[in-house]
């Protein structure tokens, strides 16, 4: 279809030749050639077929020009000129991506398109017009007419693909097809009336103003279709001698008319595009305004919800700045410690001598006249303008009383349950001493069965005494497990090395033969309950000392390794090791590895208690065999928070005791 349109545009152009210079008055062929080449320029796969198409365009142009009276040499040059203008315009438009893609065609892109059209027309002018000017066939004014004619035609046709693409313009309100058709017919009628009456030029210019005004209500495609129809009609009437703007047909008259129509179309399309851009921007602004309003409403709802939640929390919440001044607090915080907004908390909740550092642990508030409370303080650093940390206050008075009652019960139960065992053990000692007194004096003889009966009685006494010892150990572990299970940990900085020293003193390792070798490399403290940590180390270090081969000294290393926001506590030994398949089961209640149950005494609660202590600190415990023999037990415990580390006063420096051996 474009091939037919190209031939018809060539023929119509050659039929309207100006007598004074032999140049066609209008030349739509350059615009049709542009439309024909554009799909090949914008499609990479079809770009390879552009050169054969250019050959066809040049050949058709030369053929029509030659048949209609142009010298054949000049006809071929004119064909190259026509094809060159269309090709350069296509290449410039596609390289700059002002045509194609999903982007909107804006007024700024229209300005770029106009520049490309002028460049393409100027480059093509280096062929036919320049050669004709050099040969004396055309004057400078004729070359100017040729440039204006080709640039106008190429511009009018190049605007079409840009504004008629569905994705090139937003869905802006227009007037509809019927109104466009009505205004087009009315404008053509007015232009015809202006051409047939004297003094009609004023009417024609008034119609031009109407065309410009229509850009304020038409969409870009509507204004382009409307004014292109008017431009084609006016150009044809001018060439035929019926110019709506008056005067006889001449090169200058036709050039002026084409320039006026090209400018009118360009300005009107630019106004329509500008209007559409404003509509898009307004729509985006309205959408963003609605989104901002929605987000503001959502934030307000979330803020109210958060305020309600924080306000109804049983725990007190404080937000402090870097100097320790309260920025925000809830009602529970005021009820617990009696504070208000803006109050300086450098005394009380904040550690003395450490500005901005929050102490964690328990504090006692109230009294002496009012009721006394125990409040647990937890601090968390935050990254927020003007705020440094969040402090959580929790009333643990009942929990601490509960723990105290549990400990009192444990002590009482231990005393009440151990008292009969102690009596049994005392009587066993008395009975053993009595049996030893009955032992046969040296030099006397006794019957074999009497000696055997005496040995049996001594063995029975030993078994009863051992059973009583196991029962006492079991009661101690069971009561300890109950306290660990039901009690609430009170974490604070714990020096692992110092606790290991205490545990070793309790085990009286110096009296063991052969004496154990204990190495301590525990520089990193943990944030844990001291009493629970002592139970943990007592069990783990005790197992490392106990589960050794006969005659071999125990070799134990205790170390701590930082692990993100936690610390890994390691107890390594060179003892009998954990039997394969028992690595997880040894932490179950009342479970003991069958391989060790007979040789090494125990209740099966010690490692279960260790697991429970680790879990109460949001950590874990695991055991594994070591290469070369022995066991490695690892426990993950919380690290000391930065605020707590800054506030804590170390009980002693361990810089000189990084490695100790026993």
pTM comes to: 0.46
Least confident of 346-350, 504-508, 591-595, 609-613: 346-350
Sign of the CA dihedral running 410, 489, 640, 526: positive
Cis ω before 432 (30° cut-off from 0)? no
- Answer for the pair 166, 105: CB distance below 8 angstroms, yes or no: no
How far apart (Å, rounded) are the C-alpha atoms in residues 85 and 605? 95
Rounded average pLDDT over 417-421: 70
What phi, psi does 169 have (nearest 5°)? Answer: -145, 150
Helices marked H in 215-329 — which ranges? 220-239, 251-312
Q: Would you say 391 and 320 are in contact if contact means Cβ atoms under 8 Å apart?
A: yes
Q: pLDDT by residue (tens digit) across 231-267?
A: 788 777 776 767 666 655 556 667 777 777 888 888 8
Region 191-217 average pLDDT = 73
Give the mean model confidence (pLDDT) for residues 451-474. 70
Confidence of residue 353 (pLDDT cuts 50, 70, 90): very low
- In this prediction, residue 657 carries a pLDDT of 35
Buried b / exposed e over 404-432, threshold 16 CB at 10 Å, is eebeeebeeebeebbeebeebbeebeebb
Indicate if the pLDDT at residue 85 is higher than 80. yes
pLDDT score of 172: 59
High-pLDDT (> 90) share of the chain, %: 7
Using the predicted structure, report yes or no on whether residue 101 has a pLDDT greater than 70: no
C-alpha 449/C-alpha 452 separation (Å) is 5
260, exposed or middle or buried, with CB in 10 Å at 0-12, 13-18, 19+?
Answer: middle
Q: Is the pLDDT of residue 324 over 90?
A: no
Whether 52 contacts 58, CB under 8 Å:
no
* CA–CA separation, 82 and 61 (whole Å): 8
Q: What is the pLDDT of residue 649?
A: 47
3-class SS string, 448-503: HHHHHHHHHHHHHHHHHHHHHHHHHHHHHHHHHHHHHHHCCCCCEEECHHHHHHHH
pLDDT of residue 34: 87
For 532-587, how does the pLDDT look when each residue is reduced to its tens digit (9 = 90+)? Answer: 888 889 888 888 888 888 878 888 999 999 988 899 999 999 888 888 888 888 88
Which residue, among 560, 501, 499, 491, has the nearest Cα to 525 in the 3D structure?
560
DSSP structural state of residue 370 = S
State the average pLDDT for the chain.
Answer: 77
Predicted confidence (pLDDT) at residue 154 exceeds the cutoff of 70: yes
Residue 486 near residue 406, CB atoms below 8 Å: yes
User: What is the structure's pLDDT at 606?
Assistant: 79
């Amino acid at each position: 279809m474009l091939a037919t349109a190209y031939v018809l545009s060539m023929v119509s152009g050659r039929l309207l030749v100006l007598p004074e210079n032999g140049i066609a008055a209008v030349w739509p062929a350059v615009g049709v050639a542009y439309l024909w080449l554009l799909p090949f320029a914008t499609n990479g796969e079809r770009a390879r077929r552009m050169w054969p198409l250019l050959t066809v365009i040049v050949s058709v142009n030369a053929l029509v020009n030659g048949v209609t009276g142009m010298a054949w040499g000049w006809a071929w040059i004119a064909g190259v000129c026509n094809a060159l203008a269309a090709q350069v315009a296509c290449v410039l438009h596609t390289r700059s991506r002002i045509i194609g893609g999903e982007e909107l065609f804006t007024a700024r892109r229209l300005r770029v398109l106009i520049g490309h059209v002028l460049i393409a027309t100027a480059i093509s002018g280096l062929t036919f017009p320049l050669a004709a000017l050099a040969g004396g066939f055309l004057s400078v004014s004729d070359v100017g007419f040729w440039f204006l004619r080709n640039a106008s035609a190429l511009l009018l046709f190049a605007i079409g693909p840009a504004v008629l693409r569905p994705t090139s313009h937003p869905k802006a309100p227009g007037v509809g097809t019927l109104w466009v058709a009505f205004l087009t017919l009315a404008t053509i009628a007015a232009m015809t009336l202006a051409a047939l009456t004297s003094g009609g030029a004023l009417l024609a210019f008034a119609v031009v103003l109407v065309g410009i005004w229509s850009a304020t209500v038409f969409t870009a495609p509507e204004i382009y279709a409307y004014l292109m129809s008017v431009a084609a009609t006016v150009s044809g009437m001018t060439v035929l001698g019926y110019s709506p703007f008056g005067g006889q047909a001449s090169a200058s008259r036709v050039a002026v008319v084409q320039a006026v129509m090209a400018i009118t179309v360009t300005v009107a399309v630019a106004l329509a595009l500008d209007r559409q851009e404003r509509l898009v921007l307004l729509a985006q602004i309205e959408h963003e305004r609605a989104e901002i309003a929605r987000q503001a409403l959502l934030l307000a709802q979330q803020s109210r919800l958060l305020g309600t939640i924080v306000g109804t929390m049983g725990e007190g919440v404080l937000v402090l700045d870097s100097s320790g001044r309260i920025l925000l607090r809830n009602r529970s915080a005021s009820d617990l410690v009696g504070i208000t907004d803006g109050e300086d908390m450098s005394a009380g909740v904040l550690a003395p001598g450490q500005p901005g550092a929050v102490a964690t642990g328990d504090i006692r508030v109230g009294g002496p006249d009012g009721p006394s409370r125990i409040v647990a303080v937890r601090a968390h650093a935050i990254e927020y303008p003007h705020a440094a940390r969040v402090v959580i206050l929790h009333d643990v008075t009942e929990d601490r009383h509960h723990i105290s009652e549990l400990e009192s019960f444990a002590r009482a139960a231990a005393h009440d349950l151990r008292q009969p065992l102690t009596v049994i053990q005392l009587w066993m000692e008395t009975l053993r001493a009595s049996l030893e007194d009955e032992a046969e004096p040296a030099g006397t003889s006794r019957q074999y069965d009497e000696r055997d009966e005496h040995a049996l009685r001594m063995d029975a006494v030993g078994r009863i005494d051992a059973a009583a010892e196991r029962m006492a150990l079991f009661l101690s572990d069971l009561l300890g497990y109950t306290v660990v299970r039901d009690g609430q940990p009170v974490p604070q900085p714990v020096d692992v090395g110092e606790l290991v020293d205490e545990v070793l003193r309790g085990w009286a390792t110096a009296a063991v033969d052969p004496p154990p070798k204990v190495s301590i490399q525990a520089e990193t403290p943990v944030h844990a309950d001291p009493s629970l940590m002592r139970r943990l180390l007592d069990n783990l270090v005790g197992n490392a000392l106990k589960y050794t081969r006969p005659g071999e000294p125990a070799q134990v290393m205790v170390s701590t390794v930082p692990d993100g926001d936690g610390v890994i506590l390691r107890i390594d030994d060179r003892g009998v090791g954990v039997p394969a398949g028992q690595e997880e089961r040894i932490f179950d209640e009342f479970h003991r590895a069958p391989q060790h149950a007979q040789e090494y005494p125990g209740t099966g609660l010690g490692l279960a208690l260790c697991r429970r202590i680790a879990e109460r600190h949001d950590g874990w415990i695991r055991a594994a065999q070591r290469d070369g023999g022995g066991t490695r037990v690892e426990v993950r415990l919380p690290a000391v928070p930065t605020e707590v580390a800054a506030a804590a006063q170390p009980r002693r420096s361990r810089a000189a005791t990084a490695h100790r051996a026993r």
